[in-house]
Amino acid sequence: MGGIMVNLKQCIILIIAMALFTGPGCQDESGKSLLPFLSLSEDSGVGGASSDGGGSEGGISRYYIEPEGDDSCAGCPGQLSADEEEIIRQELNKAGAGGAKIDLNVRVTVPSLENPHADADTDLWATVVRPDGSEKLPTILVATPYRRELMMLLYVPLVGSRYNLMAIDIRGTGSSAGEWTSFDLVEQYDIKYTVDSFIPKSVWSDGTVGMIGPSYMAIIQMLTAGLVDVDPDTGEPVHLKALFPLVPMADAYRDIVMHGGNCDLLFIPLWLGIVDILAILPPMLNLGSDGAPTGEDFEQAKAIWQDHVNQIPDTIGWVMNADNLNDGQFFDKKSSMIYWPDKPAAGWGFPEGDKIISSKLPVFCVGGWFDIFTRGTTNIYQYGLGRHSVTDKAMIIGPWYHLGGSLGMGLDSIMSCKVPARWFDWKIKNKQDPFMEEFPVLLYVMGEDKWRAEKSWPLPEGRVDLKTLYLTKQSPTKIDGDWYTDEPSWRLIKYYSDNNYGLSETPVFSGDNPVLKHNPLDLHGLVSRATTRWTMGMPAIGSDISKFFLNENIDAAMPWEDERLDEKACLTFTTEPLAGDVEITGPIALTFWARTKFADPLTRAAIDGIFDLVKGTLKIDDNLLLDGMNRKDVQWVAELNDVFPDGRARNITSGWLSAWHR
């Protein structure tokens, strides 16, 4: 097991290192960012000292005395080893912060009295990196279930900007004790305690905290923000001063599990599998404090490892429990929307749901047009931060899938932490940033392939023309040479063009109603952007690296960049060639009427037999995935595609709605 653990960790580190240190793709020949928003201001402090002067304020020293030993629980069984410390040290050297101090193993004991959802005190483990010198500084926190020794490498450059960097293993993951509950309230209170109590009481802290991280690490930021202590006089969080969440979701049910009532069959199993695989790797405790493990080391590691293994049936149960087919408190308690200012009329039904994220907490969101959480990210900005001043919220939406957006792929100013440093400098250290203040929103305009700075989101009504197009029963003009619309005249049975209808600016009622014959056993979307999107962009890693780092765009050659292979089994509605460029920015909706007829009894019986076989093999009575697929319902998927002159159809966005979710 130890060998497997090391190999897996090395592979993950290799991926992170590749993303961090491949050449930037959004710079001019001098290496400067092409956008003021994405360039580093001269006073951002990277590699320099704090701009604060004086040795004390109000009689409180700005400096600390180095503690005896460190916070790594000297004399206790070690966790991370010298190998991990050396990797961190190498990254610090690259960031110009080679003199920083590394507290490799910091025990954070969360008292049960501070966590109303915990049964006992719980030991979490963290790593803290402190800039050289003895000045008390702001701390940037990364809370992760993906092993702190890996995720903190993404943000080591912040140490060069004179911030402490702390990465902590969430309960039930990495080296931390307890049971992993995936965003639940017990986990939120753990991180609240870390932000409001542990960090401010540490000798190296000036009492202020920021948070950063993508995906899970972004979601836990928004959840923690709803619980942290707030000054009753000013309305500002006492210690938490700024967030930088990349690709966060807001609604666990609609953003992750059930998209319009359609169960997510790709991302959920993939994500749970990744977390469980990382969880069952033995914690670093078994390496011992000096690489020579003792019997006590092994016993402590074994206990934590066994806790992690024992929780796997629970995580599997999340997708096996048919009760989770419907929305409810199970999902609400994992959703940051419960802390939004606008509440349901009857409330959320539990005390935490009465809390509201402070409108004085600055939040900088990053999202991707092809991300799995595009809906969540934009909703956080528009609704979750609806009472925020425009200068206390910002957002970038780029041409990314989930993995690309997690890294800000291709934008060196995000990948090297220059933009996060500017945000934290502005909001924590009070260094003004005129460009960020004037243009809080940055959008990537696809088609033009350009970045555009904006002052608001959604775009102001004066700049948007609302447009309605109508589905018709007529065939559109054929595209010469397009195998999808221009099938040979000698072919008696049209495989594709019989499914292709027009899209018109005026209603057209003549013609026969379109009919789609669908076999539930045929899986659609395997060769489409949908599969690439819901696998977090993994299939597109190669083409993304080529595009963002090698300046060679090979997207058109990728199979998921042409939806025609997927469209051949669907109904399509296509406009005539556009007279000019059309930009579509913001939400869109499709309204249609349909009548459905379900399969004949023989086919229905065959489908039921397959599901019964799976249930019998797994010895389960119900299953969220299978029961959701097997119910007498229709799962509708609508896609907006851009048709090229040669007929290639490139997906722009998609929507999902089951009949039972209307």
Residues 400, 246: Cα–Cα separation, whole Å: 11
Q: Of 50-54, 166-170, 291-295, where does mean pLDDT reach its minimum?
A: 50-54
Q: Of 59-63, 271-275, 392-396, 523-527, where does mean pLDDT reach its minimum?
A: 271-275
What number is the average pLDDT over the span 605-621?
63
Q: Which pLDDT tens digit goes with each residue over 202-252?
A: 999 999 999 999 999 999 999 999 999 999 999 999 999 999 999 999 998
- Burial classification of residue 57, based on how many CB atoms lie within 10 Å of its CB (0-12 exposed, 13-18 middle, 19 or more buried): exposed
Token output for 401: 């899938």
Residue 351 has pLDDT above 50, yes or no: yes
How much is the mean pLDDT over the chain?
82
Residue 337 has pLDDT above 80, yes or no: yes
Q: Which pLDDT band holds residue 59 (cuts at 50, 70, 90)?
A: low
- Burial classification of residue 226, based on how many CB atoms lie within 10 Å of its CB (0-12 exposed, 13-18 middle, 19 or more buried): buried
pLDDT top residue among 524 and 80:
80
Q: Could you write out the DSSP letters of every residue in 7-65?
A: HHHHHHHHHHHHHHHSPPSSB-TTS-BSSGGGS--TTS-TTS--S--SSEETTEESB-P
Residue 150 has pLDDT above 80, yes or no: yes
pLDDT top residue among 197 and 277:
197
Give the three-class secondary structure for 208: strand
Q: First CA to last CA across the chain, in angstroms? A: 49
**pLDDT at site 350:** 96
Residue 573 has pLDDT above 50, yes or no: yes
Token output for 581: 């460029």
**pLDDT at site 274:** 64
Q: Which pLDDT tens digit goes with each residue over 557-570?
A: 999 999 988 887 78
Q: Which pLDDT tens digit goes with each residue over 116-140?
A: 999 999 999 999 999 999 999 999 9
205-214 vs 137-144, strand pairing mode: parallel
Q: Which pLDDT band holds residue 389 (cuts at 50, 70, 90)?
A: very high
Q: Which pLDDT band holds residue 34 (cuts at 50, 70, 90)?
A: very low
**Measured CA distances, 175 to 70, 117, 220, 626 (Å):** 18, 21, 18, 34
Give the three-class secondary structure for 531: helix
pLDDT top residue among 2 and 79:
79
Residue 369 has pLDDT above 80, yes or no: yes
Q: Of 16-20, 320-324, 413-417, 550-554, where does mean pLDDT reach its minimum?
A: 16-20
Residue 328 has pLDDT above 50, yes or no: yes
3-state secondary structure 263-326: ECCCHHHHHHHHHHHHHHCCCHHHHCCCCCCCHHHHHHHHHHHHHHHHCHHHHHHHHHCHHHHC
Residue 544 has pLDDT above 80, yes or no: yes
**pLDDT at site 21:** 33
- Percentage of the chain beyond pLDDT 70 is 74
Nearest to 84 by CA among 194, 5, 199: 5
Q: Which pLDDT band holds residue 617 (cuts at 50, 70, 90)?
A: low
Residues 207, 241: Cα–Cα separation, whole Å: 10
Residue 11 has pLDDT above 70, yes or no: no
3-state secondary structure 622-662: CCHHHHHHHCCCCEEEEEEEEECCCCCEEEEEEEEEEHHHC
pTM of the model: 0.84
What number is the average pLDDT over the span 397-425?
93
Q: Which pLDDT tens digit goes with each residue over 484-533?
A: 888 777 776 666 667 889 999 999 888 889 988 877 666 677 788 988 99
**pLDDT at site 66:** 82
Residues 169, 123: Cα–Cα separation, whole Å: 10
Report the residue count for the chain. Answer: 662
Q: Which pLDDT band holds residue 18 (cuts at 50, 70, 90)?
A: very low
Q: Which pLDDT band holds residue 410 (cuts at 50, 70, 90)?
A: confident
Mutual orientation of helices 312-320 and 267-280 as an angle, nearest 10°?
A: 170
Which domains, and CATH codes, for the chain? 2-51+70-261+329-454 (3.40.50.1820), 262-325 (no CATH)
